[in-house]
A and B are shown apart, each in its own frame.
Chain A
């Protein structure tokens, strides 16, 4: 038995076994897991790329890498099924299988030199965050950053430190947060993301919009962006599908002839408009 310290490039289905080194409770049903392996970071993804995460005797599922450090990867995971139930019960020190990076990631060159409008809803901020942090680390390569984020309630907001502490301090960066339903302590905006977006009304000029969230939010965000004259080429989103292999072989994550695990998960709206509406 090996602990898979080395890479397994000859067998992409075999995971590297690493460990959870930190768990952050984001919301009642979202935790962020920091994962590393004996040889340091299991792999180095580009923003928007994916990792296949497993508890080896339970199962595997694909998650976006929400951000990374020099020695670790972070996965923000909502509790929704068998594997995520077990993950949410796990403690620091738990062995975790990881393989990747998978997928295309965000088209960095498309974003360079432009203002970036990030629109996230709920756990949909997880993949968006990888690009936000990339823009912050390479701040001079991008124009103004506008982050619009919403969740069901104040306690359902993910990455609160980033939203209220870290990101607002970054040069030429605006953070707008809304909740569907407030509570006694909530002083911020109450309302759905699409309406909030229209109220903020960012200009489409030299701007790329990146959105991810629940399907219903994306549907109305796209309508709002169209109203504000964003063109399909300026809108980028990232999709979710059931995946088993992550390497374009097992078959299930196709939309037409595109495989979300290989050709996605990131697509521009212009690309999506050319694909069958089956996601």
Chain B
């Protein structure tokens, strides 16, 4: 294990950034998000970011290929580019866990998404454990330890006037070795954090929900939802996307961008049929996708308990209360 004096954090990031591009949690224009490190950035290390770091692996908009057309002729060229290695510094254990699910979606079931894969392979994750979860955090109800991220390359935890760092992968060890001039050897083990105060009952939830598709409770749950889609954009495990064209004259780009199951157009077919025509079907889809469908398909939970949707939902549709409400249904 290594330790880093808090006073040296800026120097540590600067040194690391001189070797590989480093993304850090910052406050920008009133929103916290991951952005490239710079000396004058406003680091946010006392709480998780509102914008999840999934954007570094699965950007909000991403160009897939370019095309040229000329009368009847057309040609295409892939825009998939393997990035230089990069470091994500300060990713919380809940968000690191979300990468597991994004890996399942983008890299399994017969097809690999090259755009995601190239970034995932090049990203080195330094996770920052949470000594004291926020009041909207409930990751430990889903089996995530707020102070540990087993999938991270390096686990880091604050301890008084320093950070303790432990490499968990070969890439992590190499990075710490490269930065050894900034670090001090430290004996002992990484400290544990405090448990979350917000709790939900997890065990058996998938099985409990399986026969509830037609239950009238969904009409109640959906009532206050305004289908704004905020929850899906901020969710670290939501991965749905649309594929669109941007054409100018004879050339253009095919790109993808985040989409949301909250919108009627999401499932609307040419010809007018919509299998999820009202907000009841759409809200049901969102919760069952997280809590039943993803567990059935990938043997993983689709929620990591980060609490962003609880914090930012404009009508306070709280997933933990929804889960409690669903547990009450016989």
Residues of A contacting B72 in the complex (Cβ-Cβ under 8 angstroms): 19, 91, 93-95
- Asked, given contacts A241-B269, A257-B297, whether A262 binds B242 with beta carbons under 8 Å apart, the answer is no
Tell me the A residues contacting B by CB distance below 8 Å. 1-4, 8, 10-15, 17, 19, 55-61, 78, 80-84, 91, 93-95, 97, 215, 240-242, 244-245, 247-252, 254-257, 262, 276-279
Residues of A contacting B276 in the complex (Cβ-Cβ under 8 angstroms): 278
Report the nearest B residue to A93, measured CB to CB.
B72
Q: Is B326 an interface residue (CB 8 A)?
A: no
Other A-B contacts than A56-B67, A251-B239, 15 sampled, CB-CB below 8 A, are A2-B75, A13-B64, A13-B115, A17-B75, A56-B252, A242-B266, A242-B267, A245-B241, A247-B110, A247-B113, A249-B239, A250-B259, A252-B240, A252-B267, A276-B213
- Asked, given contacts A56-B69, A56-B254, A262-B109, whether A250 binds B76 with beta carbons under 8 Å apart, the answer is no
Residues of B contacting A97 in the complex (Cβ-Cβ under 8 angstroms): 74, 76
Interface of B is mostly: mixed
Tell me the B residues contacting A by CB distance below 8 Å. 64-65, 67-69, 72-78, 80, 105-106, 109-115, 213-214, 239-243, 245, 247, 252, 254, 256, 259, 261, 266-271, 273, 275-276, 281, 285, 288-289, 292-294, 296-297
- Asked, given contacts A93-B72, A257-B297, A279-B275, whether A10 binds B270 with beta carbons under 8 Å apart, the answer is no
A56 touches B76 (CB 8 A): yes
Residues of B contacting A91 in the complex (Cβ-Cβ under 8 angstroms): 72
In the A-B complex, list the 6 residue pairs whose CB atoms are closest, starting with the nearest: A81-B270, A251-B240, A95-B74, A257-B296, A247-B111, A257-B293
A249 touches B69 (CB 8 A): no
A248 touches B110 (CB 8 A): yes
Q: In the complex the two chains form, what is the Cα distance from A262 to B259 in whole Å? A: 20
Q: In the complex the two chains form, what is the Cα distance from A33 to B89 in whole Å? A: 52
A58 touches B245 (CB 8 A): yes
- Asked, given contacts A13-B64, A60-B243, A257-B296, whether A249 binds B105 with beta carbons under 8 Å apart, the answer is yes
Residues of A contacting B214 in the complex (Cβ-Cβ under 8 angstroms): 277
Residues of A contacting B110 in the complex (Cβ-Cβ under 8 angstroms): 247-248, 262
Q: How far is the CB of A193 from chain B (nearest CB, A)?
A: 19
A254 touches B76 (CB 8 A): no
Q: How far is the CB of B60 from chain A (nearest CB, A)?
A: 15
Interface of A is mostly: loop
A17 touches B240 (CB 8 A): no
Residues of A contacting B64 in the complex (Cβ-Cβ under 8 angstroms): 13-14
Report the nearest B residue to A10, measured CB to CB.
B114
Partner among B80, B239, B242, B245 whose Cβ is within 8 Å of the Cβ of A57? B245
Residues of B contacting A240 in the complex (Cβ-Cβ under 8 angstroms): 269, 273
Report the nearest B residue to A1, measured CB to CB.
B75
Report the nearest A residue to B265, measured CB to CB.
A242
Q: How far is the CB of A49 from chain B (nearest CB, A)?
A: 13
Residues of A contacting B241 in the complex (Cβ-Cβ under 8 angstroms): 244-245, 249-251
B273 touches A215 (CB 8 A): yes
Report the nearest A residue to B293, measured CB to CB.
A257
B245 touches A3 (CB 8 A): no
Report the nearest A residue to B114, measured CB to CB.
A11
Report the nearest A residue to B65, measured CB to CB.
A14
Q: In the complex the two chains form, what is the Cα distance from A58 to B240 in whole Å? A: 21
Residues of A contacting B114 in the complex (Cβ-Cβ under 8 angstroms): 10-11, 13
B76 touches A248 (CB 8 A): no
Report the nearest A residue to B74, measured CB to CB.
A95
A251 touches B78 (CB 8 A): no
A248 touches B109 (CB 8 A): yes
